Amino acid sequence: MQPSLPTLAADNLACRRGDRLLFRRLSFRLEAGAACHVTGANGAGKTTLIRALAGLTTPYAGAVMREGALALLDERTGLDPDLPLGRALAFWFGLDTAPDTGTMIARLRLDALAEVPVRYLSTGQKKRAALARVLGQGAGVWLLDEPLSGLDTDSQGLVMELVREHCADGGIALIASHQPLDLPGMTSFAIEDFAPALEDLAEQDEDA
């Protein structure tokens, strides 16, 4: 865990993709221990929000404030497809100086896959490997984009258990998911609630 308490906040955030404003006036603040579920239809802008929060997309307006290190889970594992899983994970665990990597690998039921090249892993196995990377980063702020997709029921339960433990330990988790999530104290918002009104689109045209 980070020495200082993590926080994650958005202030009046707006994001566009191409020439389309996806959402605007989106503000929230998450303190240590908070979990937040972001919902929204396909294409509404959940991934775009997560990328903006991670600093990978420049917002159209507004600001992101973050205290503490960040771990991002999205559709890319970041693992070398040609390496056996054990070595591919060891590369990142080494950079992150992750403690107790054996426990993480066992926890995510990856031990039997250590010799399998990453490119041969199934969708769910790749997702579990990506989650092992998130755990290994020891970051205070987790941004998880569809962490349950492609996972069987047991693995979905495990992910929610890991998120619960992370937050109980003072971490923050912001999770975009189509699945219902059940965590004590979890807040949520629908990204459609920040969809632009017609007058916002007119303003955007004037700005362009």
Q: Which stretch binds ligand ATP (CB under 6 A): 14-22, 65-73, 77-85, 162-170?
A: 14-22
Task: Round to whole Å and give the CA distance between 110 and 107.
Answer: 8
Task: Round to whole Å and give the CA distance between 186 and 170.
Answer: 14
Structural contact between residues 134 and 63, judged by C-beta atoms closer than 8 angstroms: no
Query: Token pair for residue 13?
Result: 């955030």
Q: Does 68 bind ligand ATP (CB under 6 A)?
A: no
Q: Would you say 74 or 104 has its CB closer to ligand ATP?
A: 74
Cβ 82 to ligand ATP shortest distance, Å: 27
Q: Does 38 bind ligand ATP (CB under 6 A)?
A: no
Q: Would you say 48 or 125 has its CB closer to ligand ATP?
A: 48
Task: Round to whole Å and give the CA distance between 62 and 12.
Answer: 5
Cβ 145 to ligand ATP shortest distance, Å: 7
Amino acid identity of 109?
Answer: R
Element (H, E) at 8: strand 7-17
Residue with the two structure tokens 């979905």: 156
Q: Does 72 bind ligand ATP (CB under 6 A)?
A: no
Which of 57, 60, 62, 61 lies closest to 16 in space, CA to CA?
60
Q: Does 18 bind ligand ATP (CB under 6 A)?
A: yes
Positions in 43-62 near ligand ATP (CB under 6 A):
43-48
Overall size of the chain counted in residues: 208
Q: Does 148 bind ligand ATP (CB under 6 A)?
A: no
Q: What is the layout of strands, in order, in the sheet containing 141-145?
A: 70-73, 141-145, 172-176, 35-39, 187-190
Q: Does 16 bind ligand ATP (CB under 6 A)?
A: no
Q: Would you say 47 or 155 has its CB closer to ligand ATP?
A: 47
Residue among 17, 29, 76, 119 that touches ligand ATP (CB under 6 A): 17
Chain residues binding ligand ATP by CB under 6 A are: 17-18, 22, 40, 42-48
